């Protein structure tokens, strides 16, 4: 983890180390070493020269700060790194460093390597979060909770269904990102303008070997100015952050003092306030939200930079670097904090039921209407039944009595429903529809993805 003042909060988790300066330098050196080996395999470079180059491709041997200073001369850090690498390689082998490549080949392939490594550790956190959500969905399949529409109570759901919904969004986003990691991270190798002319007839052979050595996909042609891969990655990371933001947004709402259906239980001292000793803030969820909310702007910046002119862009490539790194970092931080929030999450089924009972059964009015129409055997229609139940609801809201009493006393409702039937229709645990089946489907879908 970096030593920056805000990094422990906004650059948390294992992804940050995979996208730091040293990781990028190592990825660029990995490209240069693999290029030498690929060129040797294609018969372009002597194998001894390739080995000599590979022996000099360790980031710890280079002054990263100095490389950054020198980057302004050529406009990117790849050029100074190639010079430094060439200086370290002994004898004639130095003449084979970077053969056929251009700076953008180094930078773009390094981006793919960094991304592959970052997504691997990100996936560990994603899988852990999904497993936690699957567990919550399973154990709370029958924990009745108020459904909420426009922040107002609606018919009941279960907390298991809520967790299954969270799982569905995260699993779908993870599935998309996993597909990109496996199939869309491709080597970049095209030389000055995408022709590999300096390699004569050996360009494609070296490209194929390079992809094999790096474990990246081999593209049909160089993608210097076709930035579809960057856009896909950005969109997938944005989708991950959207899924995280949904979950932690719900957690923070459910943890409000007035709701109190969940809370985070962390180590002593977490979730407190500098001025309010009584506070029990869901701090991990808050930090996940703080990370995830940055994603849309970063995705937009990468989309805005995606139009690259001609064969090599003048500025658009450079514009990608910082938002790309930050998007990887902030996504890693968001998922890291989500994992911690779910580890700390405590559910209060009693409070969920108590909150649902606050309306005195009003949220079950729809069920009463359905039951009334059904019991009347068609004697009254849905509109008539709805009007009768609505009048009872308005009277209950006005303080005229309990909804159950008012329904039982109503001339229309009472004619077809007795008190026991009304009580059953007002029981939220008996009006859950296909909630359990949906939970099972979500769990089956997740297990299939695994």
Catalytic residue among 212, 280, 312, 424: 312
Per the CB < 8 A criterion, the answer to whether 79 and 103 are in contact is: yes
Q: Sign (positive/negative) of CA torsion 423, 428, 433, 436?
A: negative
DSSP 60: G
Instruction: Count other C-beta atoms under 10 Å from residue 154's C-beta.
Output: 12
Catalytic residue among 198, 273, 374, 402: 273
What are the tokens at 277? Answer: 């000793």
Q: Catalogue the E-assigned strands of 356-432.
A: none
Q: How far apart, in Å, are the Cα atoms of 186 and each of 77, 216, 326, 380?
A: 21, 5, 21, 66
> Phi, psi at residue 262, to the nearest 5°?
-140, 165
> Phi, psi at residue 112, to the nearest 5°?
-70, -40
Per the CB < 8 A criterion, the answer to whether 159 and 369 are in contact is: no
What are the tokens at 310? Answer: 């001609």
Instruction: Return the ∠ at Cα 149 (arms to 143 and 152), rounded to 5°.
Output: 85
> How far apart (Å, rounded) are the C-alpha atoms in residues 448 and 450?
5
What are the tokens at 407? Answer: 């329904």
Q: Catalytic annotation on 88?
A: no
> How far apart (Å, rounded) are the C-alpha atoms in residues 116 and 398?
61
* Cβ partners under 8 Å of residue 31, min gap 6: 101, 105, 106, 109, 110, 113, 214
> How far apart (Å, rounded) are the C-alpha atoms in residues 316 and 321?
9
What are the tokens at 136? Answer: 């919550």
Q: Residue 217's beta-bridge partner residues?
A: 186
Q: Catalytic annotation on 312?
A: yes
> How far apart (Å, rounded) are the C-alpha atoms in residues 26 and 122?
19
Element housing 442 (H / E) = helix 435-449
Give the max Cα distance, the chain.
103
Residues designated as active site = 273, 312
């Amino acid at each position: 983890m970096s030593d920056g003042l805000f990094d422990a909060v906004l650059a948390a988790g294992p992804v940050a180390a995979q996208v730091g300066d040293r990781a990028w330098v190592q990825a660029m050196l990995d490209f240069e070493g693999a290029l030498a080996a690929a060129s040797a395999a294609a018969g372009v470079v002597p194998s001894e020269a390739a080995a000599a180059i590979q022996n000099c491709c360790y980031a710890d041997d280079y002054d990263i700060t100095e490389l950054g200073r020198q980057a302004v001369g050529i406009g990117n850090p790849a050029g100074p790194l190639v010079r430094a690498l060439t200086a370290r390689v002994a004898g004639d082998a130095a003449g084979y460093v970077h053969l056929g490549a251009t700076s953008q080949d180094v930078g773009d392939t390094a981006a793919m390597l960094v991304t592959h490594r970052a997504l691997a550790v990100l996936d560990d956190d994603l899988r852990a979060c999904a497993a936690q959500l699957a567990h919550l969905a399973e154990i709370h399949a029958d924990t009745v909770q108020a459904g909420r529409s426009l922040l107002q109570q609606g018919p009941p759901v279960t907390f298991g269904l809520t967790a299954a919904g969270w799982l569905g969004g995260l699993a779908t986003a993870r599935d998309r990102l996993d597909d990109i990691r496996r199939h869309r991270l491709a080597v970049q190798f095209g030389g000055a303008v995408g022709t590999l002319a300096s390699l004569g007839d050996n360009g494609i052979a070296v490209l194929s070997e390079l992809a094999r050595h790096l474990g990246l996909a081999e593209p049909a042609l160089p993608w210097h100015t076709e930035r579809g891969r960057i856009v896909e990655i950005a969109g997938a990371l944005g989708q991950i952050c959207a899924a995280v933001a949904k979950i932690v947004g719900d957690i923070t709402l459910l943890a409000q003092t007035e709701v109190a259906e969940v809370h985070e239980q962390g180590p002593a001292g977490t979730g407190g306030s500098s001025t309010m000793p009584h506070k029990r803030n869901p701090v991990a969820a808050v930090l996940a939200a703080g990370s995830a909310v940055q994603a849309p702007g970063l995705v937009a910046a990468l989309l805005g930079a995606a139009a690259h002119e001609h064969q090599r862009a003048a500025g658009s490539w450079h514009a990608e670097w910082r938002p790309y790194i930050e998007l990887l970092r902030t996504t890693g931080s968001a998922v890291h904090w989500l994992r911690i929030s779910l580890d700390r999450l405590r559910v209060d089924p009693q409070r969920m039921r108590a909150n649902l009972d606050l309306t005195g059964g009003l949220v079950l009015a729809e069920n009463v209407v359905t039951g009334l129409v059904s019991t009347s055997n068609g004697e009254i229609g849905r509109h008539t039944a709805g009007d009768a139940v609505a009048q009872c609801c308005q009277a209950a809201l006005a303080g005229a009595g309990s909804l159950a009493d008012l329904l039982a006393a109503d001339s229309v409702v009472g004619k077809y429903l007795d008190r026991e039937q009304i009580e059953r229709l007002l029981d939220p645990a008996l009006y859950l529809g296909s909630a359990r089946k949906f939970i099972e489907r979500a769990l089956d879908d997740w297990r299939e993805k695994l």
